[in-house]
């Protein structure tokens, strides 16, 4: 049976996927086509996650497989991959909070779905968000936080964006363990998401992509 | 003659553990002197309603109310988390004030913040704490990482203690580098060659490590003196402690602080058998940890913070294969020794509730966060006492009236036939004081079973 790369990645078959990549590279295939297939595989992973067939470990594992494939392919790349990014998102865990597992998962899902994620990391001061929004021209901001203290940091970050005159330029989404509609209202965010897919759905809606 | 411990059934052991909780001792081992007959009565009533709620044999006199904050007492009392970790008088002041101002049925105690100076001496890398990686007014937070590597399962399985001492501890504590050089203590057998085992202890890095351990130990001793003084003082005022100790589900032991979230998730695919074997190896160790703490503290409730088994963190199949079997085994191990597992299912656990009900009735207490409470009552709640579900956002942003309505609904539904304790769903740093006050006062008034 001819096992293709797209389905091997979609099915999280690490060994087979890596073998196919090596074979195709050895056969002299255009590395960009291999990367394209790999990305299609990840898209299916994303779809399965969206339909509750896959869960967080599957995402983490697919990301790991992708990393290994990229390591194999990268040295052979002669030209840059075209970026087909559908929108820029400034992303980070707010001031005072260093939790990043949730943030990383959402960033990964946004990336898989074609968004350019500018990840500022954890414990990010308000001004850093403001600067990055200005610098990148991003239209979406994602604020993550796990602690109850993050509620106020989120509120302050959104206030800082407003004070910088950028609030009309960006849509703000928030997320994290204890985030709810009440917290959204409190912080002044445009929306909140309970899981990574909710984040993707919001980003697509806001950028007009289906 | 009284029945020997080994001949007792789990039920008899549980009864005995509750009796010990009902008759607390002072640090010298004598019966604790209550401040007054009234505070003794309060203490006994509080333990008794919790006991009745857990055992589900008869209706408690009223619904108990527990508040489990993390750093809230510090902010409330006007000190920073940093002060709480470095000044034990301030620490106790804050947690005493919290307890006496709100008067929940149990005392969370001042053990949570921990001794900052000891962590400094040890160069603790697993956490950032106020002033060390996070600001003085932030709570401590975990620095997740791979503190056990993917290829170290065999070493862990072969000799968990030795793996912890010579590999894990030096990675987590910068000042304990010298432990890497220690021999396995099991090699110390007879006079022939025995002294070779002591050579490492003569080397400067090992001696520096032991010096750090001794200094950290002195600091920890100072800290626990303060923490237990507050515990005894508040017991005398009629407040039982919330927990007798803690243990963990083996999956979380590996996933939280050893392999990390990413590491353990990859292990489920790449080396599932090793992961399962390691969890089996850790199971009796986790049982013993909980049982010993319960006995030492004469308190049957052993807290189990659950992390990586929540909805979405793995599929239901993975949950049944990787998370549940050894978690259940730890709970059964505790139950067989008369101990009450007190797991906290943080986040959402809706898809796991059916699986969780496969435990003996009336022997566990579950802190539920945001799971569907009615569904929890119909499933897990048929065999176990539920606590919690008062949400963080409500405590922080709601009005006392909203808190009252929320709790009224919980008592009317989940608490209808007993088996429910009013409690916050997740540990919190911030809340409106008036909301916590109404949580306790309203439960006392409305939660009386007639």
Check residue A2 and give its pLDDT.
46
CB contact under 8 A, B393 and A178: yes
Band of pLDDT at residue B198, cut at 50, 70 and 90 = very high
Number of CB atoms found within 10 A of residue B130's CB? 24
Residues of chain B neighbouring A101 (CB-CB closer than 8 A) = 144, 261
Q: Is the pLDDT of residue A1 over 50?
A: no
What number is the average pLDDT over the span B417-422? 97
pLDDT, averaged across chain B: 97
Number of CB atoms found within 10 A of residue B450's CB? 4
Check residue A197 and give its pLDDT.
86
Q: Is the pLDDT of residue A210 over 80?
A: no
Which CATH number, 3.30.565.10, 1.10.10.10, 2.30.40.10, 3.20.20.210, labels domain B5-68+242-446? 3.20.20.210
**Location of structure tokens 């992708």:** A66
Instruction: Give me the architecture of the A5-76 domain, per CATH.
Output: Orthogonal Bundle (1.10)
d(CA A15, CA A26): 17
> How does strand A171-175 pair with strand A115-119?
unpaired
What number is the average pLDDT over the span B183-200? 93
Q: What is the ipTM of this complex?
A: 0.92
Closest CA to A16 of A6, A27, A8, A28: A8
Check residue A83 and give its pLDDT.
61
Q: Which of residues 46-105 of B touch A (CB under 8 A)?
A: none
d(CA A115, CA A108): 10
CB contact under 8 A, B138 and A183: no
Give the end-to-end CA distance of chain B in Å, rounded to a whole number.
40
Q: Is the pLDDT of residue B80 over 50?
A: yes
What number is the average pLDDT over the span B384-400? 97
Residues of chain A neighbouring B272 (CB-CB closer than 8 A) = none
Among A149, A183, A195, select the one facing B429 at the smallest CB separation: A149
Q: Dump pLDDT digits (tens) for B302-331.
A: 999 999 999 989 999 999 999 999 999 999
Q: Is the pLDDT of residue B269 over 90?
A: yes
Q: Is the pLDDT of residue A199 over 60?
A: yes
Q: Is B17 helix (H, G, I), strand (E, B) or coil?
A: helix
Check residue A50 and give its pLDDT.
87
> How does strand A115-119 pair with strand A87-93?
parallel
Q: For an interface test with B, which of A178, A181, A188 has the most B Cβ atoms less than 10 Å from its Cβ?
A: A178
Band of pLDDT at residue A116, cut at 50, 70 and 90 = very high
Domain range annotation of chain A = 5-76, 87-207
Check residue A81 and give its pLDDT.
64
pLDDT, averaged across chain A: 91
Statement: A87-207 belongs to CATH 3.40.50.2300: no
Q: Is the pLDDT of residue A132 over 60?
A: yes
Number of CB atoms found within 10 A of residue B423's CB? 26
Band of pLDDT at residue A78, cut at 50, 70 and 90 = confident
DSSP label at A76?
A: G
Closest CA to A135 of A170, A96, A177, A163: A170
Domain range annotation of chain B = 5-68+242-446
Residues of chain A neighbouring B315 (CB-CB closer than 8 A) = 54-55, 57-58
d(CA B140, CA B162): 28
Q: For an interface test with B, which of A57, A104, A156, A180 has the most B Cβ atoms less than 10 Å from its Cβ?
A: A57
Sequence-distant (≥ 6) Cβ neighbours of residue B289 within 8 angstroms: B245, B246, B247
Q: Is B17 on the interface with A (CB under 8 A)?
A: no
Q: Which residue of B has its CA nearest to A11?
A: B269
Q: Which of A37-41, B166-170, B429-433 has the lowest mean pLDDT?
A: A37-41
Q: Is the pLDDT of residue B3 over 90?
A: no
The angle at the Cα of B131, spanning A150 to B121, to the nearest 5 degrees, equals 135
């Amino acid at each position: 049976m001819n096992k293709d790369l797209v389905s091997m990645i979609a099915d999280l078959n690490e060994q087979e996927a890596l073998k196919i990549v090596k074979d195709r590279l050895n056969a002299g295939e255009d590395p960009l086509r291999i990367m394209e297939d790999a990305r299609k595989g990840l898209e299916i992973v994303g779809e399965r996650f969206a339909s509750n067939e896959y869960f967080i470990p599957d995402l983490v594992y697919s990301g790991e497989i992708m990393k290994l494939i990229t390591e194999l392919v990268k040295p052979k790349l002669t030209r840059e991959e075209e970026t087909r990014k559908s929108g820029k998102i400034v992303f980070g865990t707010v001031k005072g909070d260093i939790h990043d597992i949730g943030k990383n998962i959402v960033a990964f899902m946004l990336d898989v779905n074609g968004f350019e994620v500018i990840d500022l990391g954890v414990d990010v001061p308000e001004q850093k968000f403001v600067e990055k929004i200005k610098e990148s021209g991003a239209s979406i901001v994602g604020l993550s936080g796990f602690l109850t203290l993050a509620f106020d940091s989120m509120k302050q970050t959104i206030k800082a964006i407003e004070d910088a005159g950028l609030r009309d330029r960006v849509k703000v989404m928030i997320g994290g363990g204890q985030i709810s509609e009440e917290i959204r209202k409190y912080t002044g965010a445009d929306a909140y998401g309970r899981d990574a897919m909710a984040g993707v759905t919001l980003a697509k809606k806001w950028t007009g992509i289906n | 003659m009284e029945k020997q411990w080994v001949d007792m059934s789990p039920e008899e052991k549980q009864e005995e553990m509750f009796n010990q909780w009902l008759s607390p001792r002072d640090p010298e081992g004598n019966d604790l002197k209550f401040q007054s007959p009234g505070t003794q009565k309060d203490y006994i009533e509080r333990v008794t309603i919790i006991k009745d709620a857990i055992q589900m044999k008869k209706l408690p006199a009223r619904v108990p109310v527990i508040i489990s904050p993390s750093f809230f007492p510090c902010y409330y009392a006007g000190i920073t988390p940093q002060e709480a970790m470095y000044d034990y008088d301030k620490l106790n002041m804050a947690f005493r004030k919290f307890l006496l101002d709100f008067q929940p049925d149990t005392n969370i105690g001042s053990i949570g913040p921990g001794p900052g100076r000891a962590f400094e001496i040890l160069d603790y890398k697993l956490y950032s704490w106020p002033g060390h990686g996070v600001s003085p007014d932030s709570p401590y937070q975990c620095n997740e990482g791979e503190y056990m590597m993917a290829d170290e399962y065999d070493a862990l399985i072969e000799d968990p203690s030795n793996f912890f001492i010579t590999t894990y501890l030096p990675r987590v504590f910068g000042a304990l580098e010298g432990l890497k050089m220690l021999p396995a203590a099991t090699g110390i057998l007879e006079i022939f060659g025995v002294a070779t085992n002591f050579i490492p202890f003569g080397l400067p890095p090992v001696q520096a490590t032991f010096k750090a351990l001794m200094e950290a130990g002195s600091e920890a001793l100072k800290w626990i003196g303060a923490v237990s003084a507050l515990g005894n003082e508040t017991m005398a005022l009629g407040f039982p402690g919330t927990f007798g100790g803690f243990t963990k589900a083996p999956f979380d032991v590996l996933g939280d602080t050893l392999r990390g979230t990413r590491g353990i998730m990859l292990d489920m695919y790449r080396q599932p058998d090793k992961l399962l074997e390691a969890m089996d190896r850790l199971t009796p160790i986790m049982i013993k940890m909980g049982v010993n703490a319960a006995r030492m503290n004469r308190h049957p409730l052993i807290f189990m913070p659950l992390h990586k088994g929540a909805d979405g963190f793995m599929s239901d199949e993975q949950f049944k294969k990787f998370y549940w079997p050894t978690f259940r085994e730890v709970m059964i191990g505790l139950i067989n020794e008369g101990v009450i597992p007190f797991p906290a299912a943080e986040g959402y656990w809706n898809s796991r509730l059916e699986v969780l009900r496969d435990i003996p009735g009336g022997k566990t207490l579950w802190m539920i966060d945001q799971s569907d409470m009615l569904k929890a009552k119909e499933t897990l709640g048929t065999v176990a006492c539920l606590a919690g579900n008062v949400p963080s956002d409500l405590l922080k942003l709601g009005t006392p009236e909203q808190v009252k309505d929320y709790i009224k609904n919980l008592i009317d539904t989940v608490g209808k036939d007993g088996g429910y304790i009013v409690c916050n769903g997740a540990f919190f740093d911030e809340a409106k004081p008036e909301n916590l006050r109404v949580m306790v006062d309203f439960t006392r008034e409305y939660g009386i079973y007639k």
